Structure 1
Amino acid sequence: MLHPVAASGDGGFVGPSINEFFPKPVLFVGTPFELNRIMIIRLIVLVAIILFFWLTTRRMKLVPGRAQNIAEMGLDLVRVNIAEDLLGKKDGRRFLPLLTTIFFMVLVMNLTGVVPLLNVAGTSVIGVPLLLAVIAYAAFIYAGVKKGALKFFRNALFPPGVPWFLYILVTPIEFVSTFILRPITLTLRLLMNMIVGHLLLVLFFLATSFFFFQADGLFKFFGIGTFAFGIVFTLFEILIAVLQAYVFTLLTTVYIQLALADEH
């Protein structure tokens, strides 16, 4: 995908490596603003999202066209099924811009992994997943402190119903799981799914290229199998891209909900 050559100099097959995610800079090389392929894809995604919603919402019609209908379906998915369902209408609308931004940013950056000529997810390098996880974590802290800092930290660190002498064990565990592990797990869940998915797709399509153009005799027929697996895993990767966007947004909403709850 990033490296279309599947064979080494001696004719052997060379699979994908972690170097797939560290392409060389191609623009503004040697400056603080240098951009590699993945960073350019991220910029393309941001422009595409802004342009899409600007074009589909600037002249909204009572009977929506196809593009407006797609935009409304996506927005309703986040608003109805995630934000308002978990947070209620008042808090759901308050955090809706954040949740909508996270959902569509993750979704479209995930899908670039299966877009021809792009072929790598913008979320397959830690920068974007970590940034979004930090934003989700900041929203969680903000929601809790805004409602009542004392009650928020007390409920988070000293869960009600626990015998007082067990807080010696429970409080450190709650601190680590609530304030340290949450952003880490959000980051790694998204990042690892995109890395593994990309490497599998690269493996199948490089193998296809190798069998068709490098292998001898009947071994060429193995390319049909690897190509078929590549197509199947491409469809599976699209499903994973959508699910990961939904899960990331859902977990962000759940964390905010826990911060707003009287007890958790």
Structure 2
Amino acid sequence: MSADVRTVVAAAADGCEDPHIFNDFGCGFEAPTTSLFFPTPWLDFGLPATSGITKYTALLVVSVLIVIGFWFFTTRRAKVVPGRGQSVAEMLVVFIRDQMVRPGMGKRGDAYLPLMVTLFLFILTMNVMGIIPGAQLPVTSNLAFPAVLALSIYLLWNIIGIREHGFAGHFKGKLVPGGAPAWILPVLVPIEFISNFVFRPVTHAVRLFATMFAGHMLLAVFAAAGFYLFNPDAGGILGVISVGYSGMALVGFLVFTAFELFIMGLQAYVFVLLASFYIGEAIEGAH
């Protein structure tokens, strides 16, 4: 049983002798709560607005090491005729270039390809931590991590826009729609400001965070429910029914784990694709 499931089961067992279905102790099902996403700090520095060293910190470090290790072992002996590892790395780079970077930035996007490749693999690794036994906590289910990544892209978007078109040109292009009559600008400019300079980085971060948060919560519900429903000691037909219910919960857990793995990859793809479009927009200066 994973650490997260044990936490859920322990919470369900609080005040109950037997936290399973079909018992005489009044133990109902206790669904997982958001406490799953607030692990106890291993080391608390007492700084305001910080949570110290937690499981998130450890998994973040592990994710960084995995990404570094991937590139080290696939490219340390790069050859003209690639081996298996180098082929995988090259396929990943070509996929990100052709499916994310160039559609958003064109050929000029090749200069930003190393950033986008690293960003994709880093986000994917942090996401996948949610289904690895012993880890089972996606790093991106903590809003702080997607927010920092989104803020980095937001700053880069502004820096590139100012570098390419000047300070006035960049902000005018994002605040004043082309061809709009002067009389409507007092209405349009605030709307464009909120849309481009407020909602854009917020939605970029929240999309990734909310998906990973909801997916992990769903898997936790299936895991806790499977344990609660498993009660062969109920005896007779009730024991058989409980095992059947638990089996269905297990199937649901496995199905949604596979689906969640797909969503993890999709969210990394969407985040990098949007980042490419944002930077491409800054390069072109289009509104």
**2:114 matches 1:97:** yes
Partners in 2 of 1:70 and 1:243 — Cα distance?
19
The match for 1:16 among 8, 22, 32 is 32
Partners in 1 of 2:118 and 2:233 — Cα distance?
47
Where 1:41 maps in the other structure, the secondary structure is: helix
The match for 1:87 among 95, 105, 121 is 105
**2:138 matches 1:115:** no
Structure 2 counterpart of 1:110, which letter? Answer: N
Of 248-257 and 69-78, deviating more is 69-78
What RMSD, in angstroms, separates the aligned Cα atoms of the two structures? 1.9
Structure 1 counterpart of 2:261, which letter? Answer: I
The match for 1:135 among 140, 152, 156 is 152
Q: Structure 1 length normalisation: TM-score?
A: 0.93
The match for 1:250 is 273
Q: Contact between 1:123 and 1:194, CA under 8 Å: does it hold in 2?
A: yes
Of 55-64 and 229-238, deviating more is 55-64
Structure 2 counterpart of 1:99, which letter? Answer: M
Change (3 A) 1:34 1:163: closer
Where 1:123 maps in the other structure, the secondary structure is: helix
Number of paired residues?
262
**2:124 matches 1:124:** no
Q: Contact between 2:140 and 2:208, CA under 8 Å: does it hold in 1?
A: yes
Q: Contact between 2:105 and 2:281, CA under 8 Å: does it hold in 1?
A: no
Q: Structure 2 length normalisation: TM-score?
A: 0.86
The match for 1:161 among 172, 179, 190 is 179
Q: Contact between 1:107 and 1:242, CA under 8 Å: does it hold in 2?
A: yes
Structure 2 unaligned regions, length at least 5? 20-27
Partners in 1 of 2:83 and 2:34 — Cα distance?
43
Partners in 2 of 1:232 and 1:47 — Cα distance?
29
Shift of 1:200: 0.3
The match for 1:146 is 163
Shift of 1:204: 0.4
Of 102-111 and 55-64, deviating more is 55-64
Partners in 1 of 2:286 and 2:44 — Cα distance?
52
Partners in 1 of 2:130 and 2:242 — Cα distance?
29
Partners in 1 of 2:219 and 2:286 — Cα distance?
45
The match for 1:179 is 197
Q: For the pair shown, which has the larger CA radius of gyration, 1 or 2?
A: 2
Structure 2 counterpart of 1:21, which letter? Answer: F
Of 249-258 and 30-39, deviating more is 30-39
Q: Contact between 2:109 and 2:280, CA under 8 Å: does it hold in 1?
A: no
The match for 1:42 is 60
Partners in 2 of 1:29 and 1:213 — Cα distance?
40
Deviating above 6 A after TM superposition, structure 1's stretches of 4 or more consecutive aligned residues are none
Equivalences for residues 70-85 of structure 1 within 5 A: 70-85=88-103
